[in-house]
Chains A and B, each alone.
Chain A
Amino acid sequence: MNTDKKTIIVFSGDLDKVMAAMIIARGAAAMGNDVTLFFTFWGLNVLRKEKSPPVKKGILAAMFGWMMPQGANRTTLSKLHMGGMGTAMMRLVMKSKNVPTLQEMVQEAQDLGVKFIACTMSMDVMGITKEELIEGIDFAGVAGYLGEADEANVNLFI
């Protein structure tokens, strides 16, 4: 099989946008591609464990942690969130149409061999530690991502 490579920068932490990234990633993996996802800024929230171990943090980092969605299943729509109503409706429709949840998509992407990289600078700025993120991911900076992107023929920013 031809092993082309694709990379996606997951900057957004919005349910709809990350879902698009996950669908492309799983599709590309199923086309026999090497796929790398680089999670930075809001996108990092997708990788947070729903129940994180206790971590000692400063007050600002802790506040960020409370304010941002903790994990894929807490993400919200970029439009029509409507105080939670729109997002809840979307999840319901997705379920009735047999679309996996975002968390299941993340799991499936990992099972298909999609490589996950968490941006260490964003982690530092937002006060997110390695222990708070799901298993099976790598940690790198922009050079690490660019090294992967140089080898790829499609690089997306979502």
Chain B
Amino acid sequence: MSEVKLNARGLQCPGPIVMLFKQMKIAAPGDLVTIEVTDSGFKADVEAWCKKTGNPLQSLTEVEGVTVAVIVKG
């Protein structure tokens, strides 16, 4: 099991989701992916993305305009 951190700060929709998608394609089941995003729509987007793709969302937090999501490869 490995952990990857992605920096998607400054990327506009759907950039962060595309970045997450590409990383998840090469991740192994159980891997953790953390992504940092400044796009304000990302919270709703990542929830929908996780539900759709079957990769559980482990945590979703926001600190000073930066959303941090941790996703487990399902």
CA distance A112 to B20 in the complex (A): 13
List 15 A-B residue pairs with CB atoms under 8 Å apart, sorted by A's residue number. Answer: A2-B52, A2-B53, A26-B18, A27-B18, A29-B21, A30-B17, A31-B52, A32-B53, A98-B10, A98-B11, A99-B12, A100-B12, A108-B18, A112-B18, A112-B21
User: A-contacting residues of B (Cβ < 8 Å)?
Assistant: 10-15, 17-18, 20-21, 48-49, 52-54
Across the A-B interface, how many residue pairs have beta carbons closer than 8 Å? Answer: 40
User: B-contacting residues of A (Cβ < 8 Å)?
Assistant: 1-2, 23, 26-27, 29-32, 97-100, 108, 112
In the bound complex, do residue A23 and residue B21 qualify as a contact, i.e. CB atoms below 8 Å apart?
Answer: no
CA distance A108 to B15 in the complex (A): 10
In the bound complex, do residue B13 and residue A27 qualify as a contact, i.e. CB atoms below 8 Å apart?
Answer: yes
In the bound complex, do residue B21 and residue A32 qualify as a contact, i.e. CB atoms below 8 Å apart?
Answer: yes
Nearest-CB residue, chain B, relative to A99: B12
Q: Return B72 CB to nearest CB of chain A, in Å.
A: 14
Q: Return A98 CB to nearest CB of chain B, in Å.
A: 5
In the bound complex, do residue B14 and residue A30 qualify as a contact, i.e. CB atoms below 8 Å apart?
Answer: yes
Nearest-CB residue, chain A, relative to B10: A98
Nearest-CB residue, chain B, relative to A31: B52
CA distance A29 to B15 in the complex (A): 12
